[in-house]
Structure 1
Amino acid sequence: MLFGTGGYFAGRATAPEAAAEPSTPAPAPSSPLGVFEQNQVAVNQPDFAGSSLTAISEGWLPYLSTCSRSGTPGGPKVNAGEKVRVRCTLDGMSAIFVEYESVAERDKARVKAMGQAVDARTLTPGVAPAAERPTPSGRTTGNYLEYAFRLTEGGTTRTVSGMWWDDAQAPVAGYLLAYWKEGLGEKWEPMRDLWSRYA
């Protein structure tokens, strides 16, 4: 046992140093988006191409689905004063992005939503006051407001809640729409959460 222990230490002392492990290259930085989200960006970008909607829609592109653009087969119709309208879905909500003919036309549309913001105090308790503020991403700064209205379809009347935001630097706006009870469980927080993530 004595020789065994001595032999072990003698061998360790005279053994050549182990060769250094070959270094493995660090993995290349990957996109923060998953494969599905990257694909959604590629699928959705053509609906926004050639419009002024790039900045206001950028954070939403990976998460939108079934987008359609005005002027294409089956696409949404533009309202008076609108140049381009893109309608998409997102987690059971409608996400709509609009480029207006002018800032004045955009502001006219916002005034209509502001009237519905007054109704929202009764229809959707907890509605936030309108404010001018930057989006959480900092990509745009403009007007933010929450509103609501009653909609009758097929003999059934339901409350729809909406969230509007625009870009003060361009004649564009985006808004989310969802059924207050069936889509949001009569709470503003789910819609606000999506806005805080992607706007």
Structure 2
Amino acid sequence: MAPSFGGGPRIEPTPKQPRGRFVVPALAGLVVGLLVFGTGGWFLGRSTAADPAPVKGGTPTVSAAPVLGAYEQNQIALNQPRLSGALAPVSQGWLPHLSGCVRSGEKDGPTANRAEKARVRCEMDAMSVIFVEYATAADRDKARVKTLGQNVDARELTPGVGPAVERATPSGRTNGNYVEFAYQASGKTVSGIWWDDSSTPVAAYLLAYWKEGSGSKWEPMRDIWARYA
């Protein structure tokens, strides 16, 4: 199945904010202050500053996760109902970034195969992300066997493809099999990354047209997977 993409405009990344600029008067004042107070003033300030709060058990303080913007919060609210239950762990990191998610059984939703309980198809810019809940773990494993064959095909279709491995996702939420694969559809090469959860009958895969979607390189897809999986 070839990935489906929306026809909307591509969202360009926000440019970085320019570095702060020190005006000449502020710089002059800073130099004068340093000359007057010197290092003694610096140490005095350190000695009178409040001590940092102690950390229990010697565990370093972990900064709180950044607050999501209104767009990301809205996407979570839209996507979470379709990716609940068994699909929640494998999809959690993706929720704020997916759009156009549709579940099997909904209007215009994907058709679940015979061995599948549910299938959810989402878009992510030039890529598609598919989440599948299988009837049994054996059904999931049979589907993975197909991607293993396409991993062999990918050696010719998409140079640089990596070997299939068993590994945890970067987030640590799931642990299972990771397979890079490729196939031909409508005269185009489609590249994909499959990963599953060995403890539940679920899997997901990221799809992109090899040339148009990933620039004939594996690195963009691997980067996206590493960020959110």
TM-score, with length taken from structure 2: 0.71
Shift of 1:48: 1.6
Give the alignment's Cα RMSD to 1 decimal.
Answer: 1.1
Q: Quick one: which amino acid aligns to residue 164 of structure 2?
A: A
Q: Which segments of structure 1 move beyond 3 Å, counting only runs of 4 or more?
A: none
CA distance in 1, matches of 2:65, 2:109: 35
The 3-state SS of whatever aligns with 2:179 is strand
Q: Deviations over 1:80-137 (max 9, x none)?
A: 2110000000121010000000000000000001000000000000001000000000
State which structure, 1 or 2, has the greater radius of gyration over its C-alpha atoms.
1
Q: Quick one: which amino acid aligns to residue 82 of structure 2?
A: D
CA distance in 1, matches of 2:211, 2:120: 25
Task: Map 1:145-164; keep pairs closer than 5 Å.
Answer: 145-152=179-186, 157-164=187-194
State the match for 2:68 in structure 1: 33
Q: Quick one: which amino acid aligns to residue 32 of structure 1?
A: V
Normalized per residue, the structure richer in helix is 2
Which one of the candidate residues 65, 88, 95 is aligned to 1:61?
95
Query: Percent of aligned positions with the same letter in both sequences?
Result: 63
Normalized per residue, the structure richer in strand is 1
Residue 128 of structure 1 pairs with residue 158 of structure 2:
no
Q: Deviations over 1:39-98 (max 9, x none)?
A: 10001111123x310000000000000000001111100012110000000121010000
The 3-state SS of whatever aligns with 2:111 is coil
Unpaired segments ≥5 residues, structure 1: 1-28
State the match for 1:114 in structure 2: 148
Residue 179 of structure 1 pairs with residue 214 of structure 2:
no
CA distance in 2, matches of 1:43, 1:94: 17
State the match for 1:75 in structure 2: 109
Unpaired segments ≥5 residues, structure 2: 1-63
Q: Quick one: which amino acid aligns to residue 194 of structure 2?
A: W
CA distance in 2, matches of 1:119, 1:184: 18
TM-score, with length taken from structure 1: 0.81
